[in-house]
Structure 1
Amino acid sequence: MSAESIECWLTDMDGVLVREQEPLPGAAELLEQWRRADLPYLVLTNNSIYTARDLAARLRNSGLVVPEERIWTSALATAKFLANQVDPHANTRGTCFVVGEAGLTTALHEAGFIMSEVDPDYVVVGETRNYSFEAITRAVRLIRDGARFISTNPDATGPSPEGVLPATGAITSLITKATGRKPYVVGKPNPMMFRSALNRLGAHSMHTAMIGDRMDTDIIAGMEAGMHTVLVMSGVSSRADIADYPFRPNRIIDGVHELLDEPLNGDDEDPLDSRGGA
């Protein structure tokens, strides 16, 4: 796929557009380039803590203008998935017990679900900074009693200024050990999250590119969803890491500044050069 044939863009957020709340070179310009060209795009994140409105405000504070309708989180993807699972002919709404934050509960409420601790249809586990033993115990008991087990994402750790924190994947592993049941995980690297984003845009994978900084989530999920994949070196992956995987991205670039129509800071390198592509 040539750059000219790409009609829609999906992009990861951390490590691609921002790093530790600081915008990465070319991020603001690329978003403006897409806006001017009226290209459909979505900014994706596995983090389910925040609502799209919250994330739009956080990005704005970092100097990046991304409307909330251009943000797609694992919480939104999970809510969309579960809404499609509910029997449309049922007389009652679906019910969920949630271990998570406002981003997840808001998405589920807006999808028509009722939060309940009494015989819920689903136990949904997402990101939170306030995991409680009581909530985890409740989740274990409900799953053992028959509630279906759903997770927003598989990430075992998350970043903080003080170092790594246990994240969703670590907590779901604990619950799996106590129940013998594994969750269905909606977020990356499940290509379902990307397909739901494509549906949100009304786009086709054949003409969509995915920009990410992780081979094990962004690139594999983009590849399995049938999209053109672009790996950036501005996040967690290095060029040496690529050899560890049996697949390759379609293109490898140092950062999103290489996707600009006009070079950034006088860089005269061809921004459409597919250096390192497969």
Structure 2
Amino acid sequence: MTSPAKPVRTWLSDMDGVLVHEEEAIPGAADFVKRLSERGRPFLLLTNNSIFTPRDLKARLARGGIDVPESSIWTSALATAQFLDDQRPGGSAYVIGEAGLTTAMHEIGYVLSEREPEYVVLGETRTYSFEAITTAIRLIEKGARFIATNPDPSGPSPQGPIPATGSVAALITRATGVDPYFVGKPNPLMMRSALNRIDAHSETTVMVGDRMDTDMISGLEAGLRTVLVLTGSTRAEQVDRFPYRPTMVLDSVADLIPFVDEWDDPDSEEVVDFAR
């Protein structure tokens, strides 16, 4: 953590717990994104949530005063669709999920069907259907490959935690004996697909997140520097319990704003001190 690092040219950031809590913007989030835009620094906002399309998320952020184009939002649904398009273009899948996932699958030309699909693709939804889960189990037993957008066992809601993709995937695995391939964080595949999307290099990119078990480890494994903010899932006293550490820990994204200028020197290849 004391070694110098190259200037920061591109940024990746989680959304929930870093920029917003449900519909409420976290103080400093709008200013952080604005500073990145003013400096002309390419950035991408990442989320494991596969429910919403980028257009939905753009509108959600806008309600909190955070102005982000759709092209700067990368979801686990988009990463999953890209992965399947790379693996088996023009294939078929039985999909459990909402508009964010089904739209992404349609856009890559996949056929969504219950009839001998090549894949079962599990995403997040607020209304998991026992009938749909049963269909998924039967299709997997017949040979369909099992893909899931992300491993998060629970997600936030105004009423408290609710079961998420990871929990439902565990149910299907218990019934079939087949483990899914998770595309979203902490799989570094999602991080690398995000880097490719904005033509970024891991050595000059920072990942900002609020979870040690997804954001920080995925950034670390993708070769990025990492900043943990304490406005979300991971508390300060929990950081030392993990066998790995983020490059920096800050109270919130508001504390990161001064570093956007300090770490960014587009005309220099000299190293800069990232440690604090």
Q: Is the 8 A contact 1:59 1:65 kept in 2?
A: yes
SS where residue 45 of structure 2 aligns? strand
- Residues 145, 2 of structure 1: alpha-carbon distance in 2 compared, 3 angstrom cutoff: same
- 2:202 equivalent among 202, 205, 225: 205
Q: Which amino acid aligns with 1:190?
A: N
Q: Is the 8 A contact 1:18 1:24 kept in 2?
A: yes
- Separation in structure 2 between the aligned mates of residue 11 and residue 103 of structure 1, nearest angstrom: 19
- Separation in structure 1 between the aligned mates of residue 43 and residue 228 of structure 2, nearest angstrom: 17
Output aligned runs, 1:99-248, within 5 Å.
Answer: 99-248=96-245
- Separation in structure 2 between the aligned mates of residue 163 and residue 19 of structure 1, nearest angstrom: 12
- Separation in structure 2 between the aligned mates of residue 231 and residue 260 of structure 1, nearest angstrom: 14
Report what 2:250 is aligned to. Answer: 253
Q: Is the 8 A contact 2:6 2:204 kept in 1?
A: no
SS where residue 203 of structure 1 aligns? coil
Q: Give aligned-pair identity as a percent.
A: 57
Q: How many residues align?
A: 262
Q: Is the 8 A contact 1:152 1:187 kept in 2?
A: yes
**How far is 1:162 from its partner?**
1.5
**How far is 1:274 from its partner?**
4.0
Report what 2:33 is aligned to. Answer: 31
Q: Which amino acid aligns with 1:108?
A: M
**TM-score normalised according to structure 2 size:** 0.91
- Separation in structure 2 between the aligned mates of residue 111 and residue 237 of structure 1, nearest angstrom: 35
SS where residue 241 of structure 2 aligns? coil
Matched, 1:69 2:71: yes
Report what 1:95 is aligned to. Answer: 92
Matched, 1:44 2:41: no
- Separation in structure 2 between the aligned mates of residue 48 and residue 260 of structure 1, nearest angstrom: 28
**How far is 1:21 from its partner?**
1.8
Q: Is the 8 A contact 2:148 2:165 kept in 1?
A: yes
SS where residue 74 of structure 2 aligns? strand
Greater mean deviation of Cα atoms: 212-221 or 16-25: 16-25
- 2:17 equivalent among 12, 15, 18: 15
Could you say what the CA RMSD is over the residues aligned between the two structures, in angstroms? 1.7
SS where residue 98 of structure 1 aligns? strand
**How far is 1:20 from its partner?**
3.0
SS where residue 260 of structure 1 aligns? helix
Q: Which has the higher contact order (CA 8 A, sep 6+)?
A: 2
**How far is 1:134 from its partner?**
1.1
* Long gaps (5+) in structure 2: 261-272
Greater mean deviation of Cα atoms: 238-247 or 48-57: 238-247
Q: Is the 8 A contact 2:5 2:274 kept in 1?
A: no
CA deviations over 1:65-110 (Å, ceiling 9, x no partner): 11111000000000011111016xxxxx200100000100000111
SS where residue 54 of structure 1 aligns? helix
Q: Which amino acid aligns with 1:70?
A: S
Report what 1:90 is aligned to. Answer: none
- Where in structure 1 do 4 or more consecutive aligned residues deviate above 3 Å? 1-4, 272-275
- 2:87 equivalent among 85, 88, 91: 85
Q: Which amino acid aligns with 1:184?
A: Y
**How far is 1:258 from its partner?**
1.5
Q: Is the 8 A contact 1:16 1:255 kept in 2?
A: yes
Q: Is the 8 A contact 1:252 1:274 kept in 2?
A: no
- Separation in structure 2 between the aligned mates of residue 262 and residue 192 of structure 1, nearest angstrom: 27
**How far is 1:261 from its partner?**
3.1
